[in-house]
C-alpha cells in the first residue's frame, strides 16, 4: 500500500510540548535546568542596541566637514541627553553662535570629518523572554535561552494573528456550529481565552478587545473582516507581531466553517483551565502554525510511545481535512490510496487519494490538497 507524507494539524489530548525560548542577541539566562516556570516567568534578558540617528552637524553649523572636530563638545563614546548641545560654532568675531543639539538620548557613536555627520546611538532597548508555558526548564543554552517542557493538550490552527498570551478557557457557544457574535461577549470574558464555534464576527472581536479578553479560538473568520480589522491586506507575511490587544486562532479556515467536533470537544473538556496560545502563522517555507497549549503538569522526563502515524504517513481510514476548493474545509477519512498518477482537470498528473466524507459521499482529491488530522 502506498503512503502519502502529508503535513497536518495536530489535535491531541496528551503530548509533551517543548518550546525553545531564545534571545535575539546573547544576554543573561535567568533560569536553570529543573526550575518550575509559569507563562510570565522571565527566563532570559538582553539589551538590544538602540536606534541610530544621523545628524549633519557640518550643515547645521555651516562649516566644512573637515572642521567638525574643532566644534564638537562631545567625543565618541560619550553620553548625551535629548536636546543637549553637542557642537557649537562662532562667526563674525564671535558675534553670532550656531548650535547643534542631539535629537535623542544616547551616546555619540561616530564623528565623520569626511561627511560632517555625527551618529547618535539611542539607549539600549531591554528585551525579556518569558517562559510562555507552565512547565519545567529542561535545557539551558548558555547566554541564549532555555527550553521549557510540559505535558498538555495541543491544538494547531490553520491561521492566526497576535502573539503569545494565556488565560482561562471560556466556552461561550452552545456547539461547534454557533457563530460567535458580540452578544455572547460580556465582562466575564475579561482575561479569558474565549472559544467560539463556526465563525467570529468583527464586532465580537472588537468587543472582546474592549473588555480585555486575552484570546479567541474559533473555527472560521471572514477574510473581509480580517482586512478591516488589520487595516491592510496581509499577503504572505508572517503574522504574530500584531499589537491588536488580542490573539486570534482560527482552527479550520476562512469563512463560516464549523470547528472540528474533536477540537471543540477537547476545548470544552478543558474549560476553566489555563491555555497558552500563539497566533503566529507562516504558510511559506518554514511553516509556523498558530497553537493552543493546555498544560496539565506531569513528569516531563517520562517517555511515551510515539504514534506510528507520524512516521508512516497516510493510510486508509486516516482522518484528513481538504484544504482546497471545491471541498475546502470538509473533513473525512481516506478510503483509498491509488499508487498510480491520475490526470487532473488542469491536464497535469498527480498522485491522488479517495476521501469518504461524513455523509458517505466520496471524492478523488490530489494528495497535496489534504492535510492529516491526528487521531
Domains of the chain by residue range:
8-14+152-295, 52-122, 309-373
Confidence of residue 240 (pLDDT cuts 50, 70, 90): confident
Question: Under a CB-based contact definition with an 8 Å cutoff, are residues 257 and 220 in contact?
Answer: yes
Of residues 166 and 331, the one with the higher pLDDT is 166
Q: Which fold has domain 309-373?
A: SH3 type barrels. (2.30.30)
Average pLDDT, the chain: 88
- C-alpha span between 131 and 146 (Å, rounded): 9
User: What pLDDT, on the 0 to 100 scale, is given for residue 78?
Assistant: 95
- C-alpha span between 106 and 125 (Å, rounded): 11
Is residue 47 scored above 80 in pLDDT? yes
Which three cell numbers, joined as nine digits, stand for 121? 546611538
User: What pLDDT, on the 0 to 100 scale, is given for residue 235?
Assistant: 63
As a dihedral over the C-alpha atoms of residue 308, residue 309, residue 314, residue 316, rounded to 10 degrees, the angle is 80
Instruction: Give me the residue label for grid cell 484544504.
Output: 323
Of residues 323 and 292, the one with the higher pLDDT is 292
Question: Under a CB-based contact definition with an 8 Å cutoff, are residues 120 and 55 in contact?
Answer: yes
CB 21: neighbour CB atoms within 10 A? Answer: 23
| pTM confidence score | 0.77
The DSSP annotation for 87-125 comes to EEEEETTTTEEEEEE-SSSEEEEEE-TTT-EEEEEEPPE
Q: Which fold has domain 8-14+152-295?
A: Glucose Oxidase; domain 1 (3.50.30)
Is residue 328 scored above 50 in pLDDT? yes
Confidence of residue 236 (pLDDT cuts 50, 70, 90): low
Is residue 210 scored above 60 in pLDDT? yes
Is residue 1 scored above 60 in pLDDT? no
Check whether domain 52-122 has CATH 2.120.10, yes or no: no
Mean pLDDT of the 121-126 span: 94
Lowest mean pLDDT among 103-112, 292-301, 313-322, 332-341: 313-322
- C-alpha span between 142 and 116 (Å, rounded): 42
- C-alpha span between 256 and 259 (Å, rounded): 9
Confidence of residue 307 (pLDDT cuts 50, 70, 90): very low
Mean pLDDT of the 331-355 span: 84
Confidence of residue 285 (pLDDT cuts 50, 70, 90): low
Amino acid at each position: 500500500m502506498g503512503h502519502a507524507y502529508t503535513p497536518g494539524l495536530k489535535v491531541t489530548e496528551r503530548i509533551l510540548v517543548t518550546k525553545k525560548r531564545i534571545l535575539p542577541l546573547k544576554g543573561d539566562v535567568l533560569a536553570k535546568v529543573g526550575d518550575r516556570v509559569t507563562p510570565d516567568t522571565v527566563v532570559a534578558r538582553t539589551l538590544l542596541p538602540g536606534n541610530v540617528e544621523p545628524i549633519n552637524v557640518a550643515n547645521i553649523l555651516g562649516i566644512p566637514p573637515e572642521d567638525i572636530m574643532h566644534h564638537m563638545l562631545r567625543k565618541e563614546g560619550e553620553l548625551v541627553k535629548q536636546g543637549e548641545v553637542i557642537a557649537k560654532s562662532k562667526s563674525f568675531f564671535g558675534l553670532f553662535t550656531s548650535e547643534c543639539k542631539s535629537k535623542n538620548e544616547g551616546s555619540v557613536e561616530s564623528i565623520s570629518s569626511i561627511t560632517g555627520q555625527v551618529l547618535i546611538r539611542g539607549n539600549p532597548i531591554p528585551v525579556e523572554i518569558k517562559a510562555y508555558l507552565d512547565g519545567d526548564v529542561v535545557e539551558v543554552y548558555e547566554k541564549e535561552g532555555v527550553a521549557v517542557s510540559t505535558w498538555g493538550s495541543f491544538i494547531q490552527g490553520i491561521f492566526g494573528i497576535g502573539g503569545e498570551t494565556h488565560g482561562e478557557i471560556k466556552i461561550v457557544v452552545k456547539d461547534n456550529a454557533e457563530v460567535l457574535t458580540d452578544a455572547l461577549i460580556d465582562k466575564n470574558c475579561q482575561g479569558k481565552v474565549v472559544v467560539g464555534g463556526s465563525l467570529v464576527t468583527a464586532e465580537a472581536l472588537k468587543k472582546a478587545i474592549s473588555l480585555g479578553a486575552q484570546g479567541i479560538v474559533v473555527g472560521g473568520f471572514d477574510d473581509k473582516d480580517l482586512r478591516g480589522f488589520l487595516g491592510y491586506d496581509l499577503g504572505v507575511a508572517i503574522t504574530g507581531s500584531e499589537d491588536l490587544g488580542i490573539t486570534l486562532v482560527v482552527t479550520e479556515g476562512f469563512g463560516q466553517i464549523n470547528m472540528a467536533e474533536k477540537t471543540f470537544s477537547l476545548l470544552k473538556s478543558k474549560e476553566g483551565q489555563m491555555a497558552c496560545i500563539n497566533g503566529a502563522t507562516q504558510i511559506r517555507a518554514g511553516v509556523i502554525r498558530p497553537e493552543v497549549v493546555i498544560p496539565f503538569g506531569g513528569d516531563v522526563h517520562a517517555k511515551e510511545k510515539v504514534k506510528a502515524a507520524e512516521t508512516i504517513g497516510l493510510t486508509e481510514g486516516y482522518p484528513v481535512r481538504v484544504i482546497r476548493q471545491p471541498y475546502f474545509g470538509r473533513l473525512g477519512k481516506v478510503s483509498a490510496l491509488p499508487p498510480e498518477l491520475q490526470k487532473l482537470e488542469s491536464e497535469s498528473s498527480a498522485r491522488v487519494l479517495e476521501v469518504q466524507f461524513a455523509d458517505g459521499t466520496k471524492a478523488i482529491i490530489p494528495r497535496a490538497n489534504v492535510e492529516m488530522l491526528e487521531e
